[in-house]
């Protein structure tokens, strides 16, 4: 039996702290709130919790503008609360991952205040200052260079002007940042999610990016000098050595402008444990949700993440429209279940975004309710990210059991029916389906770490196997509203199938008919032929 690695074999659950659970009636989630819901998370079966930033922040970008990397924002709690959260999470057999925002800080961070205070200040070089801007653009819109009249120079920011980028070339900065990792490792944190890590280094000569075709001005350049610079790999090696000095620690990078190939290049024994490739999060308008497209994405990343490079599966996070909003019609959860089945049975560490397990939808917001800066700037073409950050729907009481007062963002109008309490009592709910699938992953090594083998199947379906020594699991998904017969070659050559899960009423052999939207998971103790022996299939 292979070694169990929590970050490879487990399920990681992302909490957006300000929207998870409010314990003190200020309309904002907090650490005590998370503590009060740990039993729910343990029962769901997740293995680790990733917390979006909980550090002091002026909230220009809702926590992703950090003003102090080694403290807790008082609105969320104290360091003592945090220590308790680590201990109680561990007590329940789960791990805790922190979000490290190290590409930039808040303009209110003491480092930047000092840096800005004068050209001669010792921290001037901790950020990127220039007499004249080059052609680099900010991803949230506008120029990336902000003029500082007091010191008559420009500073660079890839995101908001309140988020100046750090100069990672400076050895003192490098040391200070690595010390931050050390600080949290010493407090017992199990891992880190690195915000836009592949942006850390910029070209030391600030060369202009070459042009390319694109819609937004940001997309009309090739990001060769402001992203993916070669200095990143040695830094990751150093970071990895630091993590490896502690038992079972982990780092996953958020790859900026990601592709599977780009993400995989940062993963390995002397680099990151994982890097997001965001294979399935493209907007539905451009890439309709269908099995042929999904399969293409899976095959592309299977080709990129080979050997000891392990992929991640992400369908949603705090920057993207919610999974159910992308794929479901109205309140029907059939497509959300298919998406959940993929998330939890593909090869790769699944990242589950809070509320995804109950199919939370994006909250529709009026213009005056928008808080997210890119949403304010680009309305009505882009409405920002608030819609996917609304409060967790716990029950049907006032404010969905999230708070006792009006929360910082509106709650979705469907909360009286769509909530944890109601779905817990419904055997067919998305929540109970998710629980069953997570339990199945725990039980079946093939589902956790087995190889991925796609099988040919009729249009509208996706059929694949996960296979590890002595165990084959077959997953069959019908994305359509029609019954579809699965040809025998996708099932016949193995015998002794055991039904592990079905959302229809699977009758199996000899008909092999998948009912509308049906999800079937079977197992066989027989080993299938290696994929290469079947000319129809490719790995």
Q: Which residues bind ligand NOJ (CB under 6 A)?
A: 61, 64, 101, 159, 195-196, 254, 318-319
* 254 vs 490: CA distance, rounded Å: 36
Minimum CB distance to ligand NOJ smaller for 195 or for 357: 195
Minimum CB distance to ligand NOJ smaller for 162 or for 333: 162
Q: Tell me, yes or no, if 195 is annotated catalytic.
A: yes
Question: What angle separates helix 334-345 from helix 430-443, to the nearest 10 degrees?
Answer: 20
Q: Which has the closest alpha carbon to 318: 94, 50, 115, 71?
A: 50
Looking at 47, 65, 81, 195, which residue is catalytic? 195
* 78 vs 362: CA distance, rounded Å: 31
By the 8 A CB rule, do 460 and 483 touch? no
Q: Which residues pair with 103 in a beta bridge?
A: none
**DSSP assignment string, 473-530:** EEEEEE-SSS-EEPPGGGTTTS---EEEEESS----TTT-EEPTT-EEEEEESSPPPP
Q: Which residue is nearest to ligand NOJ (CB)?
A: 64
Q: How far is the CB of 61 from ligand NOJ (least distance, A)?
A: 5
Tokens describing residue 109? 């961070």
Q: How far is the CB of 319 from ligand NOJ (least distance, A)?
A: 5
Q: How far is the CB of 256 from ligand NOJ (least distance, A)?
A: 8
Max Cα–Cα distance, the chain, nearest Å: 80
Q: Which has the closest alpha carbon to 103: 137, 66, 139?
A: 66
Q: How far is the CB of 97 from ligand NOJ (least distance, A)?
A: 14
Q: What long-range pairs does 283-292 form, CB within 8 A, spacing at least 24? A: 283/321, 283/326, 284/326, 284/327, 289/326, 289/327, 289/335, 289/479, 290/460, 290/479, 291/459, 291/460, 291/461, 291/462, 291/477, 291/479, 292/459
Minimum CB distance to ligand NOJ smaller for 221 or for 255: 255
Looking at 254, 333, 386, 537, which residue is catalytic? 254
Minimum CB distance to ligand NOJ smaller for 61 or for 146: 61
By the 8 A CB rule, do 193 and 254 touch? yes
Q: How many CA atoms lie within 13 A of 123 on its CB side?
A: 13
Minimum CB distance to ligand NOJ smaller for 196 or for 392: 196
Q: How far is the CB of 154 from ligand NOJ (least distance, A)?
A: 20
Minimum CB distance to ligand NOJ smaller for 231 or for 319: 319
Minimum CB distance to ligand NOJ smaller for 6 or for 64: 64
Torsions phi, psi for 442 (to 5 deg): -65, -35
Count of CB atoms within 10 A of residue 406's CB?
A: 11
**DSSP assignment string, 385-434:** SGGGSPPP---SSGGGGT-SS--SSPPPTTTTTSSHHHHHT-TTSHHHHH
The helix (run of H) or strand (run of E) holding residue 87 is helix 79-91
By the 8 A CB rule, do 430 and 423 touch? yes
DSSP assigned state of 305: S
Minimum CB distance to ligand NOJ smaller for 197 or for 415: 197
Q: How far is the CB of 377 from ligand NOJ (least distance, A)?
A: 13
Minimum CB distance to ligand NOJ smaller for 26 or for 319: 319
Q: How far is the CB of 371 from ligand NOJ (least distance, A)?
A: 12
Strands 250-253 and 451-455: unpaired
Q: Tell me, yes or no, if 254 is annotated catalytic.
A: yes
Q: How far is the CB of 199 from ligand NOJ (least distance, A)?
A: 9
Q: How far is the CB of 195 from ligand NOJ (least distance, A)?
A: 5
Active site residues: 195, 254
């Amino acid at each position: 039996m292979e070694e169990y690695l929590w970050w490879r074999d487990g399920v990681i659950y992302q909490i957006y702290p300000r929207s998870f659970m409010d314990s003190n009636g200020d309309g904002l989630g907090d650490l005590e709130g998370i503590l009060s819901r740990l039993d729910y998370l343990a029962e769901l079966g997740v293995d680790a919790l990733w917390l979006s930033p909980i550090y002091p922040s002026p909230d220009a970008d809702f926590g992703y503008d950090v003003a102090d990397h080694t403290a807790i924002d008082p609105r969320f709690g104290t360091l003592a609360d945090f220590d308790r959260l680590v201990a109680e999470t561990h007590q329940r057999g789960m791990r805790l991952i922190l979000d490290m925002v190290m590409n930039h800080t808040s303009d209110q961070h003491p480092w930047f205040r000092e840096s800005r205070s004068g050209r001669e200040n010792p921290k001037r070089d901790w950020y990127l200052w220039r007499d004249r801007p080059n052609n680099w653009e900010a991803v949230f819109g506008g120029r990336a260079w902000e003029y500082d009249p007091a010191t008559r120079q420009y500073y660079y920011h890839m995101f908001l002007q309140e988020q100046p980028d750090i100069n990672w070339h400076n050895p003192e900065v490098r040391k200070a940042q690595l010390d931050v990792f050390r600080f949290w490792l010493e407090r017992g944190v199990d891992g880190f999610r690195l915000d836009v890590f592949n942006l850390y280094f910029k070209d030391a000569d600030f060369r202009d990016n070459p042009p390319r075709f694109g819609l937004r001005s940001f997309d009309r350049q090739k990001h060769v000098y402001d992203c993916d610079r070669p200095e990143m790999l040695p830094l990751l090696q150093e970071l990895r050595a630091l993590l490896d000095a502690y038992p079972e620690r982990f780092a996953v990078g958020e790859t900026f402008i990601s592709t599977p190939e780009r993400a995989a290049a940062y993963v390995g024994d002397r680099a990151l444990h994982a890097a997001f490739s965001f294979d399935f999060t493209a907007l539905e308008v451009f890439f309709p949700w269908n099995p042929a497209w999904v399969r293409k994405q899976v095959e592309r990343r299977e080709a990129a993440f080979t050997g000891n490079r392990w992929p991640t599966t992400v369908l949603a996070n705090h920057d993207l429209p919610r999974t159910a909003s992308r794929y479901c019609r109205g309140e029907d959860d059939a497509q959300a279940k298919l998406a959940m089945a993929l998330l939890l049975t593909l090869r790769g560490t699944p990242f589950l975004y809070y509320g995804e397990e109950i199919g939370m939808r994006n909250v529709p917001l009026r213009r005056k309710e928008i808080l997210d800066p890119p949403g304010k700037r680009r309305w009505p073409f882009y409405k920002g990210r608030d819609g996917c950050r609304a409060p967790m729907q716990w029950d049907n009481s006032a404010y969905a059991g999230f708070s006792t007062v009006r929360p910082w963002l509106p709650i979705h109008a469907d909360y009286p029916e769509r909530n944890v309490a109601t779905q817990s009592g419904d055997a067919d709910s998305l929540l109970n389906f998710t629980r069953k699938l997570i339990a199945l992953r725990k039980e079946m090594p093939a589902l956790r770490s087995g190889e991925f083998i796609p099988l040919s199947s009729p249009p509208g379906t996706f059929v694949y196997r996960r296979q590890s020594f002595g165990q084959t699991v077959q997953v069959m998904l019908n994305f359509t509203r029609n019954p579809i017969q699965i040809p025998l070659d996708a099932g016949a050559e193995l015998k002794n199938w055991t039904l592990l899960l079905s959302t229809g009423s699977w009758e199996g052999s000899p008909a092999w008919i998948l009912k509308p939207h049906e999800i079937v998971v079977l197992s066989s103790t027989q080993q299938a032929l290696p994929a290469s022996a079947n000319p129809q299939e490719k790995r």
